Each structure stands twice: as C-alpha cells, then as structure tokens.
Amino acid sequence: MKNIIIASTSTLHGGDYLDYILPELQNHFKNCKTILFIPYARPSGISHEEYTAKVVLAFAKINIAVKGIHEFENPATAIQSAEGIFTGGGNTFLLVSQLYKNEIMDILANVVKNGTPYLGTSAGSNICGLTMQTTNDMPIIYPPSFKTLALIPFNINAHYLDPDSQSTHMGETRETRIKEFHVFNTIPVLGLREGSWLEVKGDKILLKGNLSARLFRQNQAPEEIESGTDISYLK
C-alpha cells in the first residue's frame, strides 16, 4: 500500500529545514531506523555530501539515521533495500536526469507503489506526478524524458505562488504558465502552496497543512481545495 508524503517545500520562511513537518515525519517513518536520501536535485548546486549532511541533522531530531544514495555502490539495490526514502528539492531537470542516468526511475516508482514510505519535497514532490512538466525550475540539463514516477494520477506545482497584484513585472504568473501547459496537456495540476502537503495512503489522497491548494484542470476555471479534502477522485 502506498505511503507517501508529497510536500510543497522543505522549509518555511523563518523556519529550519523540515521543522514544520517533523512531527508528521516522525509518524510517517515510524518503522524506519534509517532512511535513504536522494540528493540528486542539488539545490544551489551543493554537493551530494553537503546536502545529505543537512538532511542527517534534520532527521537526527526524530532519531532517524540517513544514508545518501551516492554512498552506495549500486543505487538500484540501495532503493530496493531502503526502509524509507526521501527525495529532496533543488533542480527537477537535474533530478530527473540523474534518476534516468542511474536507471532507477522505474525501480523507485515500484518500491514506493509497493509500500516503502516516501517523502518528497519540492523537486522530490514534482517527480511524484505523471510528468515534470509543471516544475518551476530552469532546464539546466536535458533529461531523456519528462515522464516521472506517476505515484499520483496528476501533476504537482510545488511552491505554488499566487499572482502579486502589486507587481510591475511582466513575466508570466504561475497561473498563466499552467494555463499554457493545459493548451497541450490534459493532466490536472495541483498548485501546492508552501506549508501544504499531500498524504497518500493506498489510493486515498488527502490535502494537509493549514492552506488551501489551487487545482487547475484543462478548460476549467481554477478551483480552491480546502485542507483536509480527499482528492482521490482527481485524475
């Protein structure tokens, strides 16, 4: 049975890394002594080692050890033998490229579908959807495909940002970008604001956290989804 947390962000403004969601993670990973961390997205380009060190510190607060996937000879067996898995944020193009390069996209999808507890934040959440096509990241590397883990039957837009009515900047708003996506794609997109997450247990998908989320569907007006809503119907 799937057991997944898909979080918009790792960190809230003014808070420490993962702090806001640690109580949830304590329960989520309650049967894990050690979790496997996938640092491939390398936020700001930090190394796998630096990134993993940061995650080690956060999980130490709930007495869970962390090993980076780069510490293993074989990433596929690292995933297959993991008690729990966390994929951190950073650049989604890089993350997806690395998952394909190491031939673990399908393996990761399979173990999570079979019940290994999974946490994603930001880029690690984007890959839970059908494709990475609603990422906000820069295409710094050319991945062999935009297809991702398909753990949920829709796409995520992490760090969802409402249009700023005071802005004089003429770049596209997030809503405009998602509208452009829907000219060519039928996949629903859930804009997860920072502080929101999805809890997936088997086929049940619940929106959690204090905020509503914004749902975009092709040829429909965007819709606000309240926290606590069961969105298992969505596909």
How far lies 173's CA from each of 217, 232, 234, in Å?
Answer: 17, 28, 24
Q: Which listed residue (31, 63, 170, 226) binds a copy of itself by CB under 8 A?
A: 170
β-bridge pairing 223-225 and 213-216: antiparallel
Distance CA 26, CA 152 (A): 23
Q: Would you give the DSSP letter of residue 166? A: T
153 belongs to the binding site for a copy of itself (CB under 8 A): no
Which residue in 137, 162, 182, 232 is the catalytic one? Answer: 137
> CB 218 → a copy of itself: shortest distance, Å?
11
Q: Note if 232 is an active site residue.
A: no
44 belongs to the binding site for a copy of itself (CB under 8 A): yes
> Please, what is the end-to-end C-alpha distance for the chain in angstroms?
19
Cβ–Cβ under 8 Å, residues 98 and 130:
no
Q: Which listed residue (42, 70, 208, 214) binds a copy of itself by CB under 8 A?
A: 42
1 belongs to the binding site for a copy of itself (CB under 8 A): no
221 belongs to the binding site for a copy of itself (CB under 8 A): no
Q: What share of the chain is helix, strand, coil (3-state, %, to 5)?
A: 30, 20, 50
136 belongs to the binding site for a copy of itself (CB under 8 A): yes
Q: Note if 137 is an active site residue.
A: yes
Which residue in 10, 97, 122, 196 is the catalytic one? Answer: 122
Distance CA 74, CA 133 (A): 28
- Interface ranges with a copy of itself (CB under 8 A): 9-14, 42-45, 90-91, 93-94, 132-142, 145-146, 159, 161, 168-172, 176-185, 194
Active site residues: 122, 137, 159
